[in-house]
């Protein structure tokens, strides 16, 4: 069984085991009808941490895009739902800690003979406080449920994204198996949490123990799935680099990898103390729960981990803005400085007064041959072809010498492979059998590749023009690149030496259209 399937299976075992244990009564070993050990001070600290984290989340969202990420759209509906889940989880935990802390400050402390001065036990609370307390714990359960949903989504979405980038699937996120795993895991997690607290809602102490136990167990399982993501992240970065990812994309992926590692550590700091306290509640002696120092220490350390995880998640939801890359044609061709059109070099006259090209001009002529070559512009960005007959394949085709091609054309034979896309008479030919020049499998692969890059851009919160140059070249936007060729010829070649191809001609439509919500930007805008 693949390693990535172990965490969901363990989560299923937890989901079925905890409600069963609660029903049969094994959890009755917990501190029933004694006291709630959380002090009002720790609850106040919890409320402050959640409030500051929530406020920082909203403030950062406002500075990022004026809260537009909180407004659902057709394209960002799922991402918006996850963002709202994070906000509501922090808000729910803040309501729980603020309400319970207020009640504990109102009821005060009680001196117990032979023990110490402790927070007043729940059985001694006034009736109005006892009746409202179960509702507060449902806020805690809801917070754990939304955090659980976010943890599962992070792992499942990352696996789907890396699979799509590698080209191993053509499914969208909503139709993939990993989306179904997320839905199933979320439903089981919510059902487990409700099954752990509803049967004991008349016993607030037991309700608190079960909620903390199930919530922290799930958080522990899916926290360690982040370790799998961190380990596999370098392979994803290398795949993106080999497929022509720009430096901005690579840098953002490395940034995401570091933050994922930091967040995993902060979540470990959060779940270990809470898991210790919840397991202690199932023991007959409650060694930790009866010691106010250790109880407060574990709770405060866990809250620090939760607060750190919240801040890191904010930076992952709303990463630092990246300026759109300004790409000019001269650096693309290896020229240090652009040449204005009015200052283009003129032919140097030979002693015979006839215009002739000197060595400096021969270099420009060589560059013009590179500009006119379709492959010389596309190759630095395009994804290598999967097979000789599929233009968008991960394996480069076998090269064929010019003499061999002429021999094959003259004899009418073919060596069984196509050398990829070729520019012939201003058109793009793929050597396919239908009228459009693209086979069905090629079109499917092209659409899936464009969707994968669109998904990556959305996940990294990169502007579309940062991904547009790469996707545009990868998808063979012939019109844009021919416009770039004319612009380069206008800048580098004197008017009397320009070829007829530099004049505007009517071009056929691009052979591949981008899908997945990415807008294709003309390459002429990149060189302007």
CATH of the domain at 260: 1.20.1070
- Angle of helix 127-166 relative to helix 6-24, nearest 10 degrees, comes to 160
Same domain, residue pair 336 and 251: no
Give 53 or 520, the one with higher predicted confidence: 53
pLDDT at residue 498, rounded to an integer = 62
Asked if residue 311 and residue 342 are part of one domain, the reply reads no
Q: How far apart are the first and last CA of the chain?
A: 53
Residue 60 lies in a domain: yes
Are both 398 and 281 inside the same structural domain? no
Cβ neighbors of 102 (< 8 A, separation 6 or more) are: none
CA proximity to 302, closest of 331, 328, 335, 266: 266
Phi and psi, residue 406, nearest 5°: -65, -35
Q: Could you tell me if residue 200 is inside a domain?
A: yes
Q: pLDDT at position 300, please?
A: 92
Q: State the pLDDT confidence band at 140, using cuts at 50, 70 and 90.
A: very high
CB 454 within 8 Å of CB 517: yes
Domain membership of residue 48 (yes or no) is yes
Domain presence at residue 322: no
In a domain, 477, yes or no: yes
* Same-domain status, 312 and 378: no
Percent of the chain's residues with pLDDT above 70: 58
Query: Contact at 8 Å (CB) between 433 and 439?
Result: yes
* DSSP string for 148-206: HHHHHHHHHHHHHHHHHHHTS----TTTSHHHHHHHHHHHHHHHHHHHHHGGGTT-HHH
Nearest Cα to Cα of residue 147 among 139, 33, 395: 139
Same domain for 425 and 313? no
- Domain with 509, as residue range(s), is 329-527
Q: Do 276 and 151 share a structural domain?
A: yes
The three-state secondary structure class of 215 is helix
- How far is the C-alpha of 329 from the C-alpha of 465, rounded, in Å? 16
Q: Would 323 be classed as within a structural domain? A: no
- Give per-residue pLDDT as tens, 213-266: 898 899 888 888 888 888 989 998 998 888 877 788 888 899 999 999 999 999
Same domain, 275 and 338: no
Q: According to the model, what pLDDT value does residue 106 have?
A: 93
> In what helix (H) or strand (E) does residue 118 lie, and over which residues does it extend?
strand 117-119
Q: Is residue 256 in some structural domain?
A: yes
Task: Quickly list DSSP for 407-454.
Answer: HHHHHT---S---S-EEETTEEE---SSTTS--HHHHHHHHHHHHHHH
Name beta bridge partners: 316.
none
Q: Are residues 231 and 283 both part of a single domain?
A: yes
Tokens of 458: 């959305």
Q: Of the ranges 60-69, 124-133, 282-291, 342-351, which one carries the lowest mean pLDDT score? A: 342-351
What is the Cα 98 distance to its own chain's centre?
33
pTM for the complete prediction? 0.63
139 and 249 in a single domain? The answer is yes
State residue 320's pLDDT score: 73
324-361 pLDDT, tens digit each? 444 444 444 444 444 444 444 444 444 444 444 444 44
Per-residue pLDDT tens for 2-58? 545 544 455 445 444 444 444 334 334 333 334 456 889 999 999 999 999 999 999
Per residue in 392-443, pLDDT (tens digit) is: 444 333 444 444 434 444 444 444 444 433 433 333 344 444 444 555 566 6
Which of 265, 295, 317 is a domain's end point? Answer: 317
| Last residue within a domain, chosen from 286, 317, 348 | 317
Q: Is the pLDDT of residue 137 over 90?
A: yes
Check whether residue 295 and residue 373 sit in a common domain: no
Q: Which helix (H) or strand (E) holds 461?
A: none
Enumerate the β-bridge partners of residue 109. 119
Last residue of a domain, one of 317, 350, 383: 317
440 in the same domain as 333: yes
- Phi/psi zone of residue 437: left (φ > 0), alpha (ψ -120 to 50 degrees), beta? left
Q: Does residue 324 lie within any of the structural domains?
A: no
Res 426: pLDDT = 37
Number of structural domains found in the chain: 2
Is 337 found in the same domain as 298?
no
């Amino acid at each position: 069984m693949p390693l990535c399937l172990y965490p969901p299976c363990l989560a299923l075992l937890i989901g079925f085991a905890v409600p069963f244990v609660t029903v049969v009564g094994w959890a009755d070993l917990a501190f029933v009808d004694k006291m709630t050990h959380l002090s009002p001070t720790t609850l106040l600290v919890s409320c402050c941490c959640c409030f500051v984290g929530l406020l920082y989340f909203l403030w950062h969202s406002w500075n990022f895009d004026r809260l537009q990420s909180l407004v659902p759209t057709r394209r960002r509906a799922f991402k918006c739902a996850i963002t709202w889940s994070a906000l509501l989880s922090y808000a729910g935990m803040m309501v729980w800690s603020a309400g319970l802390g207020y009640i504990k400050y109102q009821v005060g402390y009680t001196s117990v003979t032979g023990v110490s001065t402790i927070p007043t036990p729940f059985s001694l609370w006034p009736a109005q406080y006892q009746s409202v307390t179960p509702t507060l714990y449902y806020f805690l359960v809801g917070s754990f449920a939304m955090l659980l949903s976010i943890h599962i989504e992070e792992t499942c979405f990352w696996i789907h994204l890396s699979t799509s980038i590698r080209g191993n699937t053509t499914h969208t996120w909503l139709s993939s198996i990993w989306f179904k795993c997320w839905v199933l895991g979320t439903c089981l997690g919510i059902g487990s949490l409700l099954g752990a607290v509803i049967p004991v809602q008349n016993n607030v102490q037991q309700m608190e123990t079960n909620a903390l136990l199930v919530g922290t167990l799930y958080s522990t399982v899916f926290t360690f799935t982040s370790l799998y993501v961190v380990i596999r992240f370098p392979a994803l970065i290398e795949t993106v680099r080999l497929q022509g990812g720009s430096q901005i994309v690579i840098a953002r992926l490395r940034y995401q990898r570091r933050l994922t590692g930091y967040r995993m550590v902060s979540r470990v700091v959060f779940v270990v103390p809470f898991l210790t306290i919840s397991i202690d509640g199932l023991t007959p002696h409650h060694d930790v729960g009866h010691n106010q120092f250790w109880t407060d220490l574990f709770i405060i350390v866990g809250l620090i981990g939760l607060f750190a995880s919240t801040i890191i998640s904010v930076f992952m939801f709303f990463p630092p803005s990246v300026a759109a890359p300004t790409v000019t044609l001269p650096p693309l061709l290896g020229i240090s400085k652009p040449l204005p059109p009015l200052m283009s070099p003129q032919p140097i006259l030979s002693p015979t007064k006839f215009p002739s090209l000197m060595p400096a001009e021969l270099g420009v002529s060589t560059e013009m041959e590179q500009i006119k070559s379709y492959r010389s512009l596309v190759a630095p960005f395009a994804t290598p072809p999967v097979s000789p007959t599929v233009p968008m394949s991960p394996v480069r085709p076998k090269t064929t010498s010019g003499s061999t091609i002429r021999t094959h054309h003259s004899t009418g034979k073919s060596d069984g492979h196509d050398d990829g896309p070729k520019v012939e008479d201003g058109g793009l030919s793929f050597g396919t059998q239908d009228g459009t020049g693209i086979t069905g499998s090629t079109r499917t692969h092209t659409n899936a590749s464009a969707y994968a890059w669109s998904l990556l851009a959305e996940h990294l919160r990169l502007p579309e023009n940062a991904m547009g140059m790469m996707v545009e070249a990868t998808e063979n936007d012939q019109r844009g690149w021919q416009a770039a060729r004319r612009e380069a010829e206008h800048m580098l070649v004197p008017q009397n030496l320009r070829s007829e191809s530099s004049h505007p001609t009517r071009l056929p439509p691009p052979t591949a259209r981008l899908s997945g919500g990415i807008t294709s930007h003309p390459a002429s805008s990149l060189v302007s």
